[in-house]
Amino acid sequence: MQSKTTTTSGILHPHAGFAKFQLARHQPAPDLRYFVERYWHITWDLRGQPSHVQETLPHPSVNLVFEHHTANVYGVVTGKFSRRLAGQDRVLGVKFRPGGFYPFVQSSMARLTDLSVGLGEALGFDSHTLEQAVHASAHAAAMIAQIEAFLRTRLPAQDAQVAVINQMVSRIIADRSITKVDDVAALFHLNKRWLQRVFNCYVGVSPKWVIKRYRLQEAAEQLANDTTVDWARLALDLGYFDQSHFIRDFKTIVGSTPVEYARMVGQSLKKPLSVYRATDEITPPHVSHSQEPP
């Protein structure tokens, strides 16, 4: 089964980026989907070319990243993330669902926010053998097979809070009318303070941050696809009642105003974005037939 990569959410300047690297997203095995959202595999060959700095607005997720013969766990990045690509290389990442890494360590994700630690340090074991096996694999499916075999050796019990958090995150993404933490608390009949504590512990950031991050991701994605935008309407559609507030939030995180960003995107808009989004999202072969969690 295959499906096309249909979103550039979180990827800044995607037109320029997809001209420099290839991105493939792979689904996890059914028995791991309660904790893992997807795997992402980036490859590039810039030999004889200038290096490229790729920027992203990360999601509220912990990522386990295999690169340069190491493996590191990255907490939620609250600002903009930048990575310089040079020469020829590849990176494979495990994107956990919001809150999905917490059950593996049973300690607050706030301690990882804006930080990274070695996989061995994060989980308390010698990760050298796993790192060597993953990096020695010839292709993404083989790398993922090694990682999934490892995750199964440490698979925790399903924590009900993870499911609740992801229900709330899905609602935040889908419903633009959600602009405050009070909105989420009311929709799910939860105490606001309890909600804030759970997000801080399981996700590493506040629910307010999550709401704002998804709105800014949506704004950047809209601008990447249509640089001729009614700014007042866009701000209102994204839940901002004050256009200046939207502009200020966008510039604080992205580093440029929406107008400046649209101008920069327009300069690199030489091909339709669909040309670059042709990479298939492939579900690697798995042997597990476990029931997928809700």
At CB < 8 A and 24+ separation, what contacts does 191-199 make? 198/161, 198/164, 198/165, 199/165
Tell me what pLDDT residue 116 has.
97
The domain 160-267 is classified under which CATH number: 1.10.10.60, 3.40.50.1370, 3.40.190.10, 1.10.3720.10? 1.10.10.60
Lowest mean pLDDT: which of 50-54, 238-242, 248-252, 253-257?
238-242
Q: pLDDT category, 235, cuts 50, 70, 90?
A: confident
Contact 61, 100 (CB under 8 A): yes
Q: pLDDT category, 7, cuts 50, 70, 90?
A: confident
Lowest mean pLDDT: which of 39-43, 101-105, 155-159, 274-278?
274-278
% of the chain exceeding 90 in pLDDT: 75
At CB < 8 A and 24+ separation, what contacts does 262-267 make? 262/223, 262/227, 262/229, 263/227, 264/13, 265/13, 265/15, 265/223, 265/224, 265/227, 266/227
% of the chain exceeding 70 in pLDDT: 88
Tell me what pLDDT residue 293 has.
33
pLDDT tens track for 199-233: 999 999 999 999 999 999 999 998 888 767 787 88
Contact 39, 140 (CB under 8 A): yes
pLDDT tens track for 46-100: 999 999 999 999 999 999 999 988 999 999 999 999 999 999 999 999 999 999 9
pLDDT tens track for 161-191: 999 999 999 999 999 889 899 999 999 999 9
Tell me what pLDDT residue 268 has.
61
Tell me what pLDDT residue 6 has.
53
Q: pLDDT category, 274, cuts 50, 70, 90?
A: very low
- 92 forms beta bridges with 41, 66
pLDDT average, residue stretch 235-254: 88
Range list for CATH 1.10.10.60 in the chain:
160-267
pLDDT average, residue stretch 141-166: 97
* pTM given for the model: 0.88
Tell me what pLDDT residue 234 has.
83
